Amino acid sequence: MKKIDHFYKNLDVEKLIGVLNNWTEPNLLHYLADDVTKCVNGYNEINDEEVFFRTYLEDLLISGELFINLKEYFSINSYFTLELATSENHKNDIWNQVYILYSKVDKKYRLMHINCDYIANKDFISILDTITQHDIRRIKTTDKDGREYTVSPRDYYLQILDKHFEKEKNDHFKLTGEQLDYIKFPNWPHYYQGCGHFNLGKKYYEKNNKEALELDHIETKNN
- In this predicted structure, what is the pLDDT of residue 170? 59
143 confidence band (pLDDT: 50, 70, 90): confident
What range defines the domain where residue 196 resides? Answer: 3-213
Q: Is residue 101 part of a domain?
A: yes
71 confidence band (pLDDT: 50, 70, 90): very high
pLDDT average, residue stretch 130-159: 87
- In this predicted structure, what is the pLDDT of residue 176? 54
Q: Is residue 220 part of a domain?
A: no
Please give the mean pLDDT across all residues of the chain: 86
Q: Which of residues 141 and 78 earns the better pLDDT score?
A: 78
- In this predicted structure, what is the pLDDT of residue 187? 64
Q: Is residue 18 part of a domain?
A: yes
Name the E strands within the chain: 27-28, 74-84, 94-103, 108-115, 124-132, 140-142, 148-150, 193-194
| H helix count then E strand count, the chain | 10, 8
Q: What is the pTM of this model?
A: 0.86
Q: Is residue 222 part of a domain?
A: no
How far apart CA 117 and CA 122 sit, in angstroms, is 6
Q: Is residue 75 part of a domain?
A: yes
How far apart CA 181 and CA 8 sit, in angstroms, is 44
Residue 113 has pLDDT above 90, yes or no: yes
Q: Is residue 136 part of a domain?
A: yes
Residue 217 has pLDDT above 60, yes or no: yes
Range in 28-37, 59-68, 92-101, 112-121 the model is least confident about: 112-121
Q: Is residue 151 part of a domain?
A: yes
Q: How far is CA 65 from CA 69, 86, 88, 164, 185, in A?
A: 6, 29, 33, 24, 29
Range in 19-33, 36-50, 88-102, 143-157 the model is least confident about: 88-102
92 confidence band (pLDDT: 50, 70, 90): low
Residue 171 has pLDDT above 80, yes or no: no
pLDDT average, residue stretch 121-135: 90
pLDDT in tens, 197-206: 999 999 999 9
- In this predicted structure, what is the pLDDT of residue 172? 53
Angle between helices 29-37 and 52-63 (to 10 degrees): 110
Q: Is residue 141 part of a domain?
A: yes
Residue 177 has pLDDT above 60, yes or no: no
- In this predicted structure, what is the pLDDT of residue 191? 83
Domain count, the chain: 1
Residue 134 has pLDDT above 60, yes or no: yes
